[in-house]
Amino acid sequence: MDKLIIKGGKKLKGRVDISGAKNAALPILAATLLTDERCIVKNVPMLTDITTMIKILGELGKSVKRVGSTLVVKTQDKSRCVAPYELVSTMRGSICVLGPLVGKRKKAKVSFPGGCVIGPRPIDLHLKGLRDLGIGINVKGGYIIGNGKEIKGTRIYLGGHFGSSVLATANVLMASVLAKGKTVIENAACEPEIADLVRFLKKMGAKIHGAGSPRLEISGVRYLKGCTHALIPDRIEAGTYMLATAITKGDVYLRGGQFDNLLALIDKMREAGVSIEKKGKGIRVRHVKGIKPIDVTTLPYPGFPTDLQAQMMALMAITQGISVITEKIYPERFIHISELNRMGARIVLEGPNAIIKGVEHLSGAPVMASDLRASASLVLAGLVAKGTTEISRIYHLDRGYENLEIKLQKIGADIKRVKE
């Protein structure tokens, strides 16, 4: 098992290239199940989650060939409809094969998903939306068994306790594109990754209106064709490097960073005193003065992303004054607090609110990653801490950040990966 060793105190300077979006790649790769023709997906990052999805597609009769950052997906066996526990249990995003399987092949047997431990993330909205389309859903032996022989367009409301659901929207959307009649999804997720999925489906021949809005209208078609598509850049990776630049008082250009998809983060970082400007095909981030404490509340897009909450907390941990971060998407997503406190942070949790009293500096320490974004927050803390930080269980990072330590090395970080 690998770990990261970071010697803090280096300012990040230079240019970092933003990889393709993991959270767009997973549903788009699942959407290739909607056609028997060849699909080419470009700008696909090299991540363990992507590798898992490729293996799942293999179990479902697809062959996937990687050439650099391009995946070529072909159909070999149209009869296979079982996504096994051994794979699906390792990654929550794999649940998005359920919709296209029942939509195209009219049957599916998909294990309940797994993934990061960040609190309960039920799939009730997925099952509700699919049932509204007329899909028979049964749960047996830890598997979701779907029967899609009578899929018909209808009006569906996808509101949950904490707002819209990206994966539920993707699942229901993919199940509806081959349905008879018109489907309207209300309270659909507005995330850029859903808009990218819509662009992919429209290239395949789907008829969809309303991408980027809470209302999607889908007119079912009889079949979909293969297509070629390049993924959008990963806004969460970009946001992580933006916060890493701020925490180290650096100056970094993020090539490929999409300014318009990060407005909530940019607004809060500017409020804190960070200089951020749109420049060419990317974003320049500079630390120009002292950082000020701020209050942040995570919300569905276009609100502040829950996937950047932990990284923002690392920045606020060394910001003089008191900051409050309120988590409204996953209220239990605070496992990283104990590890940040081990490094000298002063953070107290009160319900869904993390109250952060900034300290002058953090101290390097052995820490353990608990989930993907918590791991990133520990990397940011290590970059600015005095002394050496050792982060174990970094396989979480490999799920969502392509060549993280290599990219950080290129912009000045003292970081290396070693075998434990």
Going by their DSSP bridges, the two strands 295-297 and 282-287 should be labelled as unpaired
Give Cα 343 to chain centroid, integer Å. Answer: 26
What are the two backbone dihedrals, phi and then psi, of residue 131, each rounded to the nearest 5 degrees? -65, -35
DSSP 240-309: HHHHHHHHTT-EEEEET--GGGGHHHHHHHHHHTEEEEEETTEEEEEE-S-----EEEB-STTSB-GGGH
Going by their DSSP bridges, the two strands 347-350 and 322-326 should be labelled as unpaired
Catalytic residue among 39, 81, 116, 227: 116
Q: How far apart (Å, rounded) are the C-alpha atoms in residues 343 and 230?
A: 40
Rounded to the nearest 10°, the torsion over CA 45, 46, 47, 49 is 80
Q: How far apart (Å, rounded) are the C-alpha atoms in residues 150 and 193?
A: 29
Q: How far apart (Å, rounded) are the C-alpha atoms in residues 253 and 281?
A: 10
Q: 381 in helix, strand or coil? A: helix
DSSP 140-153: ETTEEEEE-TT-B-
Which tokens sit at 336? 């990283």
In which element (H, E) is residue 415 found?
A: strand 414-419
Q: CA triplet 150, 165, 171: central angle to 5 degrees?
A: 30
List the one residue out of 273, 304, 269, 303 whose CA is nearest residue 291: 273
Which tokens sit at 140? 């047996």
Q: How many CA atoms lie within 13 A of 5 on its CB side?
A: 6
End-to-end CA distance of the chain: 6
DSSP alpha helices (H): ranges in 36-97?
48-59, 85-88
* 39 in catalytic set: no
Sheet holding 353-357, edge to edge: 295-297, 322-326, 353-357, 347-350
Residues designated as active site: 116
